[in-house]
Every structure is written in structure tokens, then in C-alpha cells.
Structure 1
Amino acid sequence: MDLVLVLVIATVAIALFFDYTNGFHDAANAIATSVSTRALTPRIALTMAGILNFVGALLGVGVAKTIKDILSGFDNITAQSQSHALTVVLSALVGAIVWNLITWYFGIPSSSSHALIGGLIGVGLAAGVTVDWDKVVDKVAIPMVLSPALGFGGAFIIMTTIMWLFRRANPHTVNRGFRLSQTVSAAALSLGHGLQDAQKTMGVIVLALIAGGYHTSANDDIPLWVILSAAGAISLGTMSGGMRIMRTMGRRIIALDPPRGFAAESTAAIVLYGMAIGAHAPVSTTHTMTSAVMGAGATKRFSAVRWGVARGIITAWVITIPAAAAVGALTYVILRIFIPGN
């Protein structure tokens, strides 16, 4: 078996492992509020999220194509430079995985999406590969700011509307009704998570196939086996859980009641669908959902949100891309020493 084929197989395997870590890292985003309000048990919530993650991953490939095109010039790879191109993709994945595991261990709901994008940018700069900065600005930077703002503002407006509509209703009856409604909103959010996050892995796998000469940049299709394998990996990861981050999302930011949980989940789902289908932008499920939780919680009173915890989360948001970029670049420097052809 030649070196290029070995590197392609290794890169695809590591990409699917990243997808798996994305699943258990981000599982809490979709179900934490439903579990914390007791709308769903953890086991039922995780199973539902895993299944709908798989289904969501089959609904589009626009985000995958955006990820694939962040690094350009892969269509001019020669046979002699294939191993170097694959080292680039492999290093980006390692950078993203390391940051994912660090933030998972400390229970910080950072973005797997931005970890992957940071890894690609860092390795691209270290390896001298052209980074499509226009695409980074239009499809990453602007949506990175816009999606949390929409999440916070949308959840605040929806929850304010709920409070006005049900202002004379019995609180117990309202909570019971929205506890049932959260089953639907959590399902919608899980579907949106699959639609967004599984596609990011698809894009990296296709980039590895192009680097190895098994796919061409001119072919804009995503192979079916890539779609199914990425969908399966994120689904399995989600089913394996994410209780550390679930505690942060569900309780430490603010103790949500069912109406606020519904407002946060439904808002985040709408933002994820809109960004994936309308803009093909790889936005962060974590950023969007966390902001929506804050927005829904702020309707109780702004002091009800534990802004100290929120501040730590926002700090993680800010440093995720540069931190993953640094790890990816360091990985590239190390791997190129040991992989022939670099």
C-alpha cells in the first residue's frame, strides 16, 4: 500500500473521529435545556438527538462545500506533493480534535466548527497554502458574530411574546404545555445540529480525497459514502453523551423553565437552518444555542443570567480559532518531519 493511500485512509479515519467528538461535545447544545427542564430524560433526549443528527446530515451539502474551499490550490496538486497536501489536512484535524478534547474536559461549550476552521487556517498559514480570506470573512467571521446576536435577540423576543400571550394563564398549566412543546423544539434543534456540523466533516474528507488524487475540485458533488459516514459518526457521538457541557448549558448559565427552554431551542434551530440553507455558512451550534439560552433567561431579569459563567464561555469563543490554529500549525511542523514527501 503506497504512502498516499495510507495518508488518505488515516485522514478520513481521523476526520470521522473528529465528527464523533463533535457529536459528544455538542450533544448538550441540543438537549441540555430539555433535560434541565425535565421535558425529556437524558437517555431519551440523547437517543432522539442522535437519530435526528443523522437525518439532518442528509439534508444538504452547502456547508460542506464552504469548508472544502477555505484552503485553495488543492486542484493543482502534483503526485510529488500529495503527501504534503494530506499532511496539511491531517494537521488541521488534529488541531481541532485537541482543542475539542481540552474544552470538553473542562466542560466549556466552545465551538467544534470554529476549532476545525481554526485548524485549517493555522495549517494553511504554516504550510504556505492559500487561505481564501474572502470566504473566511463572508462565511465564517460575519456569521460568527451574527448568529449569536440572532440567537440572543430572537430568544428574547419569542420569550417576551410568550410571557405576554400567557400572562393570565395558570403557570402550572403553561409549564406543562411547554414541557411537551420542548420535545418538538429539541428535535428541531437536533436536526439543525446534524445539518450544520456533520457537513463540516464531509468538507474535510472531500479535501483529503482531492489532496490524494481521489476526487477533483471541479467535481462539486459530495460522494454518498462520505455523507453517510459523517452522518453516522456524529450520530454515534451524540448518543454517547456530553454530560459535562450539559450541566453548563442547562444549569450554570441560568436555570431555565419550559417556556424559556422552548424559546431558546426554537430560536437556535431557526438560526441554524437559515445559515445552512440560505447562506451555506458553517455557524456554531454552541454559540447560537448558548446565546439563545442567555436571551431567553434575560427576560426573567438580566441579573438572573450568571454573567460570570457566560463571560468565561465568550472568552472560549474568542480564543477557539487562534488556539486551534496554533495547535494545527504546531502539528504540521511536527508531522512534516516524520512523513516522507514533506
Structure 2
Amino acid sequence: MPDIFSGLDYGVAISLVLALGFVLTYEFINGFHDTANAVATVIYTKAMPPHLAVVASGICNFFGVLLSGLGVAYAIVHLLPVELLLNVGSKQGLIMVFALLAAAIIWNLGTWYLGLPASSSHTLIGSILGVGIANAWMTSIPLLEGINTQKAIDIMLSLLISPTVGFLVAGGLLLLLKKFRAESRMHNTPDERKALDGKKHPPFWTRVALIVSAMGISFAHGSNDGQKGIGLLMLVLIGIVPGKFVVDMASSTYQIERTHDAALHLQQFYSRNSYRLSNYIDQSAQDPLPPQFKCDSRQTMPASNELVTKLAGIHNYEQLSEDERIRVRRLLLCLDDTAKKVSKLPSITSAEKADLDRLRKDLSATTEYAPQWVIIAIALALGLGTMIGWKRIVLTVGEKIGNKGMTYSQGMAAQITAASAIGIASLTGMPVSTTHVLSSAVAGTMVANRSGLQSQTVKNILLAWALTLPVSMALSGGLFIAASHWIK
């Protein structure tokens, strides 16, 4: 871990310690809040002893964070509009980070205490949306401009669709198991198995499948939810010590040259297509941009000119001053935002969109990153949190969703479905709720097994699902407004 505290005054250092503590606490709570979703079925079916299951789950969560990419991390970050991301290093930016983290921690702890399988993903996303909308209200801009509306829609669709898929796929998988393995003991509950032959564990291969799929969920949970913590921690570091983290100081000469060349190629693309983009990009704009400019697509040409000039001949970011690095990040964010909007214009062909997407990836190569120590810190917080707090929710998932206890085959179908769905979401860079995917998969198996659903538990889960987004938005937005008025 680099010496991130060197050169900081006392107040900034205290803010940094508090902010890092908030992020790691959130991720720790995320670990024990969501643990039961990974280990509930494997514990309930007695495939593994509880303490061994949660330790193994914690280890798999750790490696899930360590070995995943950053697609989900920056999908979460980019829920905030580019204008708010540009000002993360300001006082308002710091208040924003503290408000959204405090709101997420409060709601996660409350639902965990009540034993409700509420979603940490919904909580975090709601908290981010809340501060974005509150900031828009305070600055007298349209409320929907306070968030990245399209990104929010994409993420909400992912969060809505994934439980439905979990319900249907898990139910279908159970029906297949019952059709092709109708006589297997995998269709017994633990109590039925014990009454039939006195054994307390599931059949051998069923037990193996339960354990492997549970660890698969744990790994997938780490790869998805862990990235959210990484994104939050990077927001904190960029906000409090921007000179060290606004760009990747470890970037190679090749990476910086790719960034430089991407800006140049974008500029050339806009010039070649000026007739199509004349209402969007002002080719005649040449005046230098002011120090605190806003992202305006009509100012794309002077922005790209400045970036190309600043990065020409630069071999590492140490050659730039702290203020120049902050300026470079601001230019990069704005150019990426313009390229994203241009790629969605109806006149842009699919081939051109693919080219723009590749150039955007090169453009953001040195800003969408995370140091290795950040990834390890989040992995440890999530992994250690996973090792505690499982008891409150295991019973809910195992016995209180259906009218009958869970059979081995139900647990296996639910876990295989959840692990696959979450893993695919992580690979595609979309955040999903481990809680809702697994709970809906269990419900799907209960319906397929004609076990029925316990209406009160389902109502509680649905209530938590319905309340999480608005409550976390209200909490974070309220905290943001109150703190902004209090800290002048």
C-alpha cells in the first residue's frame, strides 16, 4: 500500500481515514448481510457444517473480488452524472460520499437485524441515486439530470430481470431433476432423509453439487458485490487525495500513448463527420476552456486539442503537476461522455459505434482503474464479513419461504441458478442482487415442487425489496442536504 497520507494536512488525513473506514465497514456489513445467501442452502441441507461453510464462503468471496475485473465497479460509479464526478474532489463531493455510505450502512444493518434478505445492491444504488437527485435539487437543475439516467435504467432493468430469471430457471431445473431422477433421495428434506435411513447428510453426489454451487455463489458474489466496494473506494481516494488517484500513476508509456492516440482519433472522426455532427459538435470552437468548465459537447474540439497537447511526449504521469493531472482527468471524462452520446446518435452506423466504443475504452484506460491494495482491502473486508452474521437469514431462506422445508434438489437447483446468473452478470459488467437472485430461485423451486409459499415471509421480502430503493434514496439525499447546510 503506497503512502497515501504523505503531504496531507491533519484535517484531510482524518477525513481520509474516516472515509476509508466507512467504505470498508460497508463492505464488511455487505459480507455478513449477504453471507446467508451463499451458504443458506448448504447449511440448511447439512451438506456442510455451518462454521466450515461460512469460512469457505469467505475465502471464495475473497478470491472472487481478487480475480474479477472492474466493469461492475465503474458501472456503479457512472450512475452519477459526469458533472458530479468532475467535482468529486470538492467539499460537496466528500459530503456526497459520506452521505451515500452512511445511508447504505444504516439500511443494511436494519434489514440484517430483522433477518430480511434485503439487497445490498439495491441499497447502494438507491443511496447513489439519492445524493445525485439531492444535488440536482440543491443546484436548481432538473432532478433527472442529477443522475446518469440511461445507466440507472440499465442497472434497474438488470436488477428487475435477474430475480425473474432466477425464479423461472431454478423452477425449471428442479422439474428436470424430478423428471430424470424421480427416485433419487435428493428430493428428500433433511428431516425426511434422517427418518428414512438415519443419515443426516445428503447423498454423496448431491452433497458435492451443493457444496460446489454454494462456493460458486460465494465467488460470484465477491466478483459482483466486491467490485461495488472497489468503485466506492476509488471515489473516496479521488475525492480526498486527487493528485495521487485521479489517474493511474502506475500507467505505462504505452497506456498513456493509447489514451493520447484515442483522443486524436476521436478528433479526426468528428472532423471527418462534421456534416453529420454539426448540431452536436462545434468544429469552429477554438477558445481555450476555462479552469472549471462544464462538459459541453460543443466544446469537444478545444477539449481534445488540449488533451492531445498535454499528453504529447508524456511517458508517465509524474511528469505532470497535480493540477495538470486533475485537468487531464476532467478532459478525459468529458471526452468520454461526448463519445458515448455520439455513439447513440441514429446516424451512427454499428461499425462506427464499435470503433467509438474501442476508442472510449482506450480513453478511459488510465482513469478506470484500481490499485492492487484497494482490491485486496475490499476482498479482505468482504471475506471477513462473510464469516459472521449468517444465522439470522439462513432460517428465512431454508424454511420460511416455502410451506415445507427445502429438499436437497431444491437447494441444488437454486444455487446452480444463482451462481450462473451472478457470474454472467459480473462478466458483462452489470450489478445484480445476490439476495434477490437466490431468494427468487428458492421461491421458484418451492412453486415447482408444489410446496407453496409462506405468504408472510414473501410479503416481508417483497416489502424489503419495494422499500429498499426509496428509503435508501431518501436517507442518502436527506443526509446530503443536511450535511451540505451544516458544513459551510
If the length of structure 2 is used for normalisation, what is the TM-score? 0.66
Give the equivalent residue in structure 2 for 1:70. 79
Q: What is the CA-CA distance between 1:175 and the residue it aligns to? A: 4.5
Distance 1:222 1:170, change over 3 A: closer
Aligned counterparts, 1:296-335, within 5 A: 296-301=445-450, 303-335=451-483
Distance 1:62 1:307, change over 3 A: same
Q: What is the CA-CA distance between 1:170 and the residue it aligns to? A: 5.3
If the length of structure 1 is used for normalisation, what is the TM-score? 0.93
Q: What is the CA-CA distance between 1:61 and the residue it aligns to? A: 1.4
Match of 2:70 among 55, 61, 72: 61
Asked if the contact 2:46–2:202 (Cα under 8 Å) also holds between the matched residues in 1, the reply is: no
Asked if the contact 1:46–1:241 (Cα under 8 Å) also holds between the matched residues in 2, the reply is: no
Q: What is the CA-CA distance between 1:26 and the residue it aligns to? A: 0.4
Mean Cα displacement is larger for which, 168-177 or 19-28? 168-177
Give the equivalent residue in structure 2 for 1:234. 382
Whole-Å separation in 2 of the counterparts to 1:310 and 1:27: 20
Whole-Å separation in 2 of the counterparts to 1:296 and 1:107: 21
Give the equivalent residue in structure 2 for 1:82. 90
Q: What is the CA-CA distance between 1:224 and the residue it aligns to? A: 1.3
- Residue type at the aligned position of 2:222: G
Asked if the contact 1:74–1:211 (Cα under 8 Å) also holds between the matched residues in 2, the reply is: no
Whole-Å separation in 1 of the counterparts to 2:211 and 2:167: 21
Q: Per-residue CA shift, 1:99-149, capped at 9, x if unaligned?
A: 0011011111100111111111111111228310110101x2101111001
Distance 1:233 1:317, change over 3 A: same
Match of 2:430 among 278, 281, 288: 281
- Residue type at the aligned position of 1:55: F
Asked if the contact 1:179–1:259 (Cα under 8 Å) also holds between the matched residues in 2, the reply is: no
Matched, 1:246 2:394: yes
Q: What is the CA-CA distance between 1:307 and the residue it aligns to? A: 3.1
Matched, 1:116 2:131: no
Alignment identity in percent?
34
Whole-Å separation in 2 of the counterparts to 1:299 and 1:197: 29
Q: What is the CA-CA distance between 1:225 and the residue it aligns to? A: 1.4
Whole-Å separation in 1 of the counterparts to 2:14 and 2:129: 24
- Residue type at the aligned position of 1:133: T
Matched, 1:33 2:11: no
Q: Per-residue CA shift, 1:264-321, capped at 9, x if unaligned?
A: 001000000111102x1111000000001011121210x5222331122012111101
Aligned counterparts, 1:132-211, within 5 A: 132-138=148-154, 140-169=155-184, 175-176=202-203, 177-211=205-239
Whole-Å separation in 2 of the counterparts to 1:15 and 1:320: 19
Mean Cα displacement is larger for which, 237-246 or 217-226? 217-226
- Residue type at the aligned position of 1:191: F
Asked if the contact 1:108–1:313 (Cα under 8 Å) also holds between the matched residues in 2, the reply is: yes
Whole-Å separation in 1 of the counterparts to 2:184 and 2:232: 50
Mean Cα displacement is larger for which, 113-122 or 128-137? 128-137
Asked if the contact 1:92–1:116 (Cα under 8 Å) also holds between the matched residues in 2, the reply is: yes
The Cα RMSD (Å) is 1.9
- Residue type at the aligned position of 2:436: H
Match of 1:295 among 437, 444, 447: 444
Asked if the contact 1:31–1:46 (Cα under 8 Å) also holds between the matched residues in 2, the reply is: yes
Give the equivalent residue in structure 2 for 1:256. 406
- Residue type at the aligned position of 1:260: Q
Mean Cα displacement is larger for which, 164-173 or 148-157? 164-173
Q: Per-residue CA shift, 1:233-257, capped at 9, x if unaligned?
A: 0101001232111211121113211
Whole-Å separation in 1 of the counterparts to 2:24 and 2:184: 48
Matched, 1:215 2:364: no
- Residue type at the aligned position of 2:234: V
Whole-Å separation in 2 of the counterparts to 1:189 and 1:141: 21
Q: Per-residue CA shift, 1:27-56, capped at 9, x if unaligned?
A: 000000111111111101100100000000
Q: What is the CA-CA distance between 1:329 and the residue it aligns to? A: 1.5
- Residue type at the aligned position of 1:134: Q
- Residue type at the aligned position of 2:162: S
Match of 1:271 among 398, 421, 436: 421
Whole-Å separation in 1 of the counterparts to 2:63 and 2:122: 23
Asked if the contact 1:298–1:304 (Cα under 8 Å) also holds between the matched residues in 2, the reply is: yes
Asked if the contact 1:56–1:194 (Cα under 8 Å) also holds between the matched residues in 2, the reply is: yes
Give the equivalent residue in structure 2 for 1:12. 20
- Residue type at the aligned position of 1:294: A
Whole-Å separation in 2 of the counterparts to 1:170 and 1:23: 33
Q: List gaps (5 residues or longer) in structure 2.
A: 1-8, 140-145, 187-192, 247-328, 333-366
Q: What is the CA-CA distance between 1:333 and the residue it aligns to? A: 2.6
